[in-house]
Chains A and B, each alone.
Chain A
Amino acid sequence: MIAVKGLTRTFGDLVAVDDVTFDVTDGLMTGFVGGNGAGKTTTMRMVMGLLAMHGGEVLWNGAPITAAERRRVGYMPEERGLYPKQKVLDQLVYLGELSGMTASAARASVTTHLERFGLEDRAGERVEKLSLGNQQRVQIIAALMTEPDALILDEPFSGLDPQAVDSMADLLREHTARGIPVLFSSHQLDLVERLCDRLVVLAHGRVVATGSVDELRSGGPELYRLTLDGDAGWVRDLAGIHVHDVDGTTALVEPDDAGARRALLEAAVSRGDVLDFAKQVPALSEIYREVTA
């Protein structure tokens, strides 16, 4: 498990990362969400030891992470980096060897991964000849090929088509199934919602929310949408009901408790037909807007 504790980093006067604390739990996929400049990349670079920490620490299974342990972490930087003029296979084998694999083990792993992404016939091509999406796949292979002890991936899904997103997601799930912690950042909230077991939301360098998607949702108010066959304005007069919005025959309300909710429904039925009465599940994007506002 990777634990980030009180991580802080400044650039001149700008506090890019401010006392950030969260866990990346074994066997779970943790999504790292936040707008541009929220501090995601800076945090990940500090976790990987690429940037010095100005405060706080990074723990690996409870103890400060060492260089040797970092070496066992698969990392994919935000700005994609590969040698443009080197062949795909040679390049990946080289990176594998730098991670401590033997050349033959690296070759075998690269070949398997290339096949997975349908890139086996591109192994001999220069990286610059590949499309951006395929370069991205090669980059992901570079992070995954070593059977790493953890994965830190900065925007791994950006630039991938839906099919590639699915195969990438399957691949990541295989790694969490091995019991390793996976942290990835993304702007694509729907994707995060679909894939992640846990979320860390960052805004202006601070953690504004953490937890599972359900936990984040339940943290908000419980809203109900009521649709009648006549004007819904009368709901404003009911006790124990906080009205968020009334629009003609539809009202968005927040009952104080279950009793108030039952009283609301009974009153509505006594006045006419109730066309719809349903609990509102907020989309992650709504929660995100709320917590980062």
Chain B
Amino acid sequence: MTRHAWLTVARREIITKLTDRAFIVGTLALIGILAAALGVQAYVGSRASEYAVVTSSAAAERMADAVKVAAEGADDKTTVTLATAPDDAAATQRVRDGDADVWIREGTDGWVLTGKEEVPGDLERVATSAIRDATLSENASAAGTSVEALARGSEVTTAVLDGDADKAFIAQAVGFALAMLFYLASFTFGLALANSVVEEKASRIVEIITTKIPVRQLLTGKVAGNLALAFAQMAIFVAVGLVGLSFTEYDRFLPAVSGAVGWFVAFFVVGFGLLACLWAVAGALASRTEDVQSTSTPLTMLTMAVFFAALLAEGSLKVVLSFVPPFSAVLMPIRVLEGSAPWWQALLALGLLVAAAAGVVAVASRLYQRSLLQTQGKLSLRQAWSTPE
């Protein structure tokens, strides 16, 4: 039985969390915010635009036709309807009444777009370039040449050395999201874990539990339970994020992002486990809930350092930190996402992280074991290490 006692402990941790209203509400709220943000993005991207254009002359009607072709060709969610008015006054009236968004007419020197209060920006852009193209080509043929001939050699294209701009943007955005997820999970679950350890200490139930099962099993169970929950929560967030992403204009990056997320999951599990053991020790060093804040300060700093390193580290510092536990837990998946780390580097960093986690588990279980039954005030790390059992 005692070989599986940690499972019983882990199950209690999970059930306690799942029946805690604050945890459920917090998780649902985060999912809601995430879904809403992606929903807005998707809605903005997919909104259909419809413009009504009125003209009052045959030349303008031809030009409006060209605008319609250009606008609908540029974006399949845009439609332009054309109408003609018998004279300028009638056309003005239609715009004034809201029957038309824009009145296109030929002015004394070029073309004029007239709107009621404003000319819709999208339409203005498309119309401006369509009118310019049409006019240019008319002028060119009048001069006996063609637009193509005139424009030859004037083409400007852009090139970047590292991937394309959109990919860099998406790598940064997803990297930020992953760093945030890791930070949130290790901080909220870590603090909760430290508090539950000190709760057991303060209520002395730990005395009953440790006469029944080995301390190591208790630690394992608590870390495993929280890891499972954090993992499940993160999986939901990531799933919502990926599904949401598929509805936005960035959906073409889904395969690349999913691969990096796979690495992130592996690093998350090990990195979170490492930090969780330390949080448990922070709880064990305290005797009362009030002490947790001070015993966990170094950990709070470390967790924040990991987060900010993920956001700010650049160049060779980033490369180095992507191998250093616990920074590697976030930085290496981000480098994989950027495409700057080959698979063997990721594997090496994961190996180092696993080794560090194993070391931390050994040290943490000694500290945890020795400080768990000390109930007089706070313990320093040195005291906890050297205190007899």
Chain A residues closer than 8 Å to B211, beta-carbon distance: 48-50, 70-71, 73, 75
Known: A71-B213, A84-B199, A100-B2. 16 other contacts (CB 8 A): A45-B207, A48-B207, A49-B211, A52-B389, A67-B214, A70-B211, A81-B203, A81-B204, A82-B205, A83-B203, A83-B205, A95-B209, A98-B209, A98-B212, A98-B213, A100-B1
Question: With a CB–CB cut-off of 8 A, which chain B residues contact A95?
Answer: 208-209, 212
Distance, CA A265 to CA B54, complexed state (A): 139
- In the complex with contacts A51-B373, A52-B389, A100-B1, A79-B212 CB distance below 8 A: no
Q: List residues of chain A with CB within 8 A of the CB of B363.
A: none
Footprint of B on A, CB under 8 Å?
45, 48-52, 67, 70-71, 73, 75-77, 79-84, 86, 94-95, 97-100, 142
Distance between B379 CB and nearest chain A CB, rounded to angstroms: 15
Bound together, the chains give a CA A22 to CA B109 distance in angstroms of 115
Q: Count B interface residues, CB 8 Å.
A: 24
Task: Give the docked Cα–Cα distance between A87 and B200 (Å).
Answer: 15
Assuming the contacts A94-B12, A95-B212, A98-B8, asked whether A52 and B204 have C-beta atoms less than 8 A apart, the reply is no
**Distance between A118 CB and nearest chain B CB, rounded to angstroms:** 23
Q: A71-B212, A86-B16 in contact; A80/B5 too (CB < 8 A)?
A: no
Min Cβ gap B44→A in Å is 44
B299 interface residue per 8 A CB criterion: no
Q: Chain B residues near A81 (CB, 8 Å)? A: 200, 203-208
Residues of A near B12 (CB, < 8 A) are 94
A-B contact pairs, 11 of them (CB 8 A): A48-B207, A71-B212, A71-B213, A75-B211, A77-B207, A82-B205, A83-B203, A83-B205, A94-B8, A97-B8, A100-B1
Q: A52-B388, A71-B212 are in contact. Are A79 and B204 (CB under 8 A)?
A: yes
How far is the CB of B148 from the nearest CB of chain A, in Å?
Answer: 77
- Partner of B208 from the list A77, A84, A86, A97 (CB cut-off 8 Å) is A77
Closest to B7 in A: A97
Are A50 and B207 CB-contacts (below 8 A) given A71-B2, A100-B1, A100-B2?
yes
In chain B between 195 and 223, which residues have their CB closer than 8 angstroms to a CB of chain A? 199-200, 203-214
10 nearest CB pairs, A to B: A81-B204, A81-B205, A100-B1, A77-B207, A98-B212, A52-B389, A79-B204, A81-B203, A97-B8, A75-B211
Chain A residue numbers with a CB within 8 Å of B207 are 45, 48, 50, 75, 77, 79, 81
Q: Which residues of B contact A82 (CB under 8 A)?
A: 203, 205
Among residues of B, the one whose C-beta sits closest to the C-beta of A101 is: B1
Cross-interface CB contact of A84 among B2, B9, B203, cutoff 8 Å:
B203
